[in-house]
Amino acid sequence: GAGVSQSPSNKVTEKGKDVELRCDPISGHTALYWYRQSLGQGLEFLIYFQGNSAPDKSGLPSDRFSAERTGGSVSTLTIQRTQQEDSAVYLCASSPTPLGQGPGELFFGEGSRLTVL
Amino acid sequence: GENVEQHPSTLSVQEGDSAVIKCTYSDSASNYFPWYKQELGKRPQLIIDIRSNVGEKKDQRIAVTLNKTAKHFSLHITETQPEDSAVYFCAATVYNNNDMRFGAGTRLTVKP
């Protein structure tokens, strides 16, 4: 595809339900990032994948959050037992730079807006 | 991990004036400092970046300066225009690390 694709673009769910957010990075990009952006706030780092290496999960806010990246491409961010404070835009970004050659430009998706009622 | 602080959180300038946004970082090993611009309702996009072997970098009306001793770097926008209005994010990382942490952002408003 031409860019990073995220789905759904909007998701409204009830408190306590589980949600899955999908990110399809640019083909060939080895690095994939998830960020959370609450209304009017900054880019909060959640998790980072680089190739087949173990992901950096240091930004996940609680054990209700998990993410996986299958086959080094598509990634899914899962939030279990959603809470109202999980409401935010979840942004995915990918980068073409292989590990050891430094961070390249991050290409962001449009984001998935999650609203927990 | 790296901790990046960004100031001010909001900045309002008159069209044609200059704008300066400052960031500080905590990890002395950080050596790559990009700046991203996020227009309202859009995705963040890279506008300029600098590596620690350079003290200043310019691209038309935008420049970034780096002071490694003090561990701070700044974005300078000259001759501001209304289309410069956006949220600007700084980041710092170790070049071979790929772990990108952002500052809290600065909302710049350029008044015509």
Collapsing DSSP states into helix, strand and coil, what is residue A70?
Answer: helix
**In B, which residues are within 8 Å of A102 by CB distance?**
32, 95-96, 98
Is some CB atom of chain A closer than 8 A to the CB atom of B104?
Answer: yes
Q: Which residues of chain A register pLDDT less than 50?
A: none
- Selected for mutation to probe chain A from B98, B106, B109 (highest A CB count within 10 Å) is B98
Closest partner CB to B98 (pick from A58, A97, A105): A97
Mean pLDDT over each residue of chain B, to the nearest integer: 93
pLDDT at A30: 87
Cross-chain residue pair B98–A43, CB shorter than 8 Å: no
Give the pLDDT score at B96: 67
pLDDT at A99: 61
In angstroms, rounded to a whole number, what is the distance separating the alpha carbons of residues A59 and A34? 9
- Tell me how far apart the alpha carbons of residues A5 and A21 are, in angstroms, rounded to a whole number: 11
Q: Tell me, what's the pLDDT at A55?
A: 87
- Tokens of residue B86, six digits: 């956006």
Q: Is A32 on the interface with B (CB under 8 A)?
A: no
Q: Which residues of chain A are within 8 Å of residue B99 when distances are taken between CB atoms?
A: 45, 48, 56, 103
Q: Considering only CA atoms, which of B5, B25, B32, B30 is closest in space to residue B71?
A: B25
pLDDT band at B20 (very low <50, low <70, confident <90, very high): very high
Residues of A with Cβ-Cβ distance to B7 under 8 angstroms: none
- Tell me whether residues B95 and A103 touch, CB distance under 8 A: yes
**Amino acid A98: pLDDT:** 66
A window 57-116, beta carbon within 8 A of B: 58, 91, 95, 97, 99-103, 105-106, 108-111
How far apart CA A69 and CA B14 sit, in angstroms, is 46
What pLDDT score does A12 carry?
A: 98
Whole-angstrom distance between the N-terminal and C-terminal Cα of chain B?
A: 40
Rg of the Cα atoms in chain A: 14
pLDDT for residue B38 is more than 70: yes
Asked if A94 and A31 touch (Cβ cutoff 8 Å), the reply is: yes
Residue B59's alpha-carbon distances to A27, A86, B39, B64, in angstroms, are 29, 38, 19, 9
pLDDT tens for B47-102 read 999 988 889 999 999 999 999 999 999 999 999 999 999 999 999 987 666 678 89
